[in-house]
Structure 1
Amino acid sequence: MTDDSPQPPQTFRPNYLAVWGMFFRNSLIREMTFRSNFVIELVTRAFWFSAQLVLFDLIYRHVPTIQDWSREEYFAFMATGMLINALVEAFFMPNCANFSELIRTGDLDFALLKPIDTQFLISFEKVNFAMINQVLLALALLWYSISKTGIELSIGRVVTYLLLILVGVAFFYSLMIALASTSVWFGRNQGLYDFWFYITIFARYPQGFYKQSFGGEMLWFGFSFIIPILLVVTVPSRFLLRKALDPNWTVLVIAPISTLVMVLISRKIFQWSLSNYRSASS
């Protein structure tokens, strides 16, 4: 006697690692298809990197320190900021920038129909391999700076530093995807991306640089404890260099917690934007 009772439907669970691997491979093929554009972007990034080094090297020829940062220590800070920025631009910037285009063309409909988390699909579809060059240059500058300062690094300190780097990447990604989500209401939001660059430009300089006036103190507080752009870059470099944390050791906790809150908020904003999206067929 056969059992003709209906079987419960099987739940499909996508393999996110395999999907990301496919995205990675497709991006590499796309970059290698247009090799000349890839090489030009590599050269441009290397030139910008060199220009930054030359600028601050010239400055430090006239002063031994800026605030409490020596030349080699500031280069370590610079390398940390470049590393975080390069990872964000390599893995997230092309995708967040393309979100408004998906809405305009109606291609977001196809993303919503796929049996996978929409935010994952939109966030990881493309990889900018030209930024990998920036990652390698930042790591080389960091190695040079650490070797010149003579600081002894333990495994625990290096691991903590790398975790703080990931915290910085997560924070900037959250800020970026939250701004990208507003495309549902505003359509093309190039002005918002300009706003993102203007805001993140503050992270190019250590926290202490801003504490020189009342206005600077306001910027220091706002970008440290309200939108912790300064914390997520300054804290990893000061921790790695064994420099005193500003204002105290609690920033080691504040930065990850603030980032976690930002990740949750950006997730809610993204889901809210999708709930307000009107498909091309509607």
Structure 2
Amino acid sequence: MNHEQLPETDHTFRPNYFRVWSTFFRNSLVREMTFRANFLITLVTRAFWLSAQLLLFEVIYSHVDAIGDWTRYEYFAFMATGMLVNAIVETFFMPNCANFSELIRTGDLDFALLKPIDTQFLVSFEKVNLPMLVQVVLAGILMWYSLAHLDVTVTAGRVLTYFILIAVAVAFFYSLMIALAATSVWFGRNQGLYDFWFYVTVFARYPREIYAGSAAGDAISFGFSFIIPILLVMTIPSRVLLGKVL
């Protein structure tokens, strides 16, 4: 007697990553709505920081025409780019990477490893720091203000390339951040490494060209262009958008 063989059924569980991330986003939104004052505090502090930076460089540019080959409004466009990249990183990745060592210390990482979803995705996207999106808006306003004072033609191709390079910069900073966070597996707590993160990224607040002209500046430029290329990923997007020579 012949028995017809039934087709095999694939019971492999495939999580819907967008739906999972949407749930994380909603949870973060509910949390922020519970503490609304935090949003206002972030808005005030970020606006104050931006105002202080603009005032500082207004004073500097009142004495010089350019820093390196960056004029006043070109530098403001660079500043807007840096604000945008930092806002994206600090909104979606910073709170999760900062919490990674706590997952190890408390043993909660074991539960993450057992869940039927990619562990790196889970530990990288679970929390969203929504108030930091305020900085995205401020960056957009500053970029508009800068371009309005510059005699440059911003083409669709430049804009597309600019945002592709922004994505590359975000991916680089995320990679650096998750690599530092992963050292918690050996060190337990790595607060000192997060301090190192902030010390390193402070150099990315300024264009690569301003470090030229001295031995120390050349060493900084080389180290943060070819070893840890934070200067490249932050400077090149603005130069492309403004049509400056790379």
**Normalised by the shorter chain, which TM-score bucket?**
over 0.9
> Using the alignment, how far apart are the partners of 2:149 and 2:139 within structure 1?
15
TM-superposed CA distance for 1:145, in Å, is 0.7
Residue of structure 2 equivalent to 1:156: 157
Residue of structure 1 equivalent to 2:129: 128
Counterpart amino acid of residue 84 in structure 1: V
> Using the alignment, how far apart are the partners of 2:145 and 2:105 within structure 1?
46
Residue of structure 1 equivalent to 2:95: 94
Residue of structure 1 equivalent to 2:242: 241
> Using the alignment, how far apart are the partners of 2:223 and 2:64 within structure 1?
29
The farther-off stretch of 142-151 and 88-97 is 142-151
> Using the alignment, how far apart are the partners of 1:50 and 1:18 within structure 2?
38
Q: Secondary structure in 2 aligned to 1:149?
A: coil
Residue correspondence of structure 1 range 49-64 to structure 2 within 5 A:
49-64=50-65
Residue correspondence of structure 1 range 101-140 to structure 2 within 5 A:
101-140=102-141
TM-superposed CA distance for 1:62, in Å, is 1.6
Counterpart amino acid of residue 125 in structure 1: E
Residue of structure 2 equivalent to 1:261: none
> Using the alignment, how far apart are the partners of 1:73 and 1:199 within structure 2?
23
> Using the alignment, how far apart are the partners of 2:29 and 2:115 within structure 1?
23
TM-superposed CA distance for 1:22, in Å, is 0.8
TM-score normalized by the length of structure 1:
0.84
Structure 2: which 5+ runs fail to align? none
TM-superposed CA distance for 1:7, in Å, is 4.4
User: Does the aligned pair in 1 maintain the 2:38–2:131 contact within 8 Å?
Assistant: no
User: Does the aligned pair in 1 maintain the 2:101–2:184 contact within 8 Å?
Assistant: yes
Tell me the alpha carbon deviations over residues 146-197 of structure 1, each in whole angstroms, 9 at most, x when there is no partner.
Answer: 1110211111110000000010000000000000000111111110000001
TM-superposed CA distance for 1:37, in Å, is 2.1
Residue of structure 2 equivalent to 1:230: 231
Identity of aligned residues (%): 70
Residue correspondence of structure 1 range 1-282 to structure 2 within 5 A:
7-245=8-246
Q: Secondary structure in 2 aligned to 1:31?
A: helix
Counterpart amino acid of residue 205 in structure 1: Y
Paired positions, count: 245
Counterpart amino acid of residue 59 in structure 2: L
The farther-off stretch of 40-49 and 235-244 is 40-49
Q: Secondary structure in 2 aligned to 1:30?
A: helix
Counterpart amino acid of residue 203 in structure 1: A
> Using the alignment, how far apart are the partners of 1:19 and 1:70 within structure 2?
45
> Using the alignment, how far apart are the partners of 2:7 and 2:87 within structure 1?
52
Q: Secondary structure in 2 aligned to 1:43?
A: helix
Structure 1: which 5+ runs fail to align? 246-282
> Using the alignment, how far apart are the partners of 2:18 and 2:238 within structure 1?
30
RMSD: 1.5
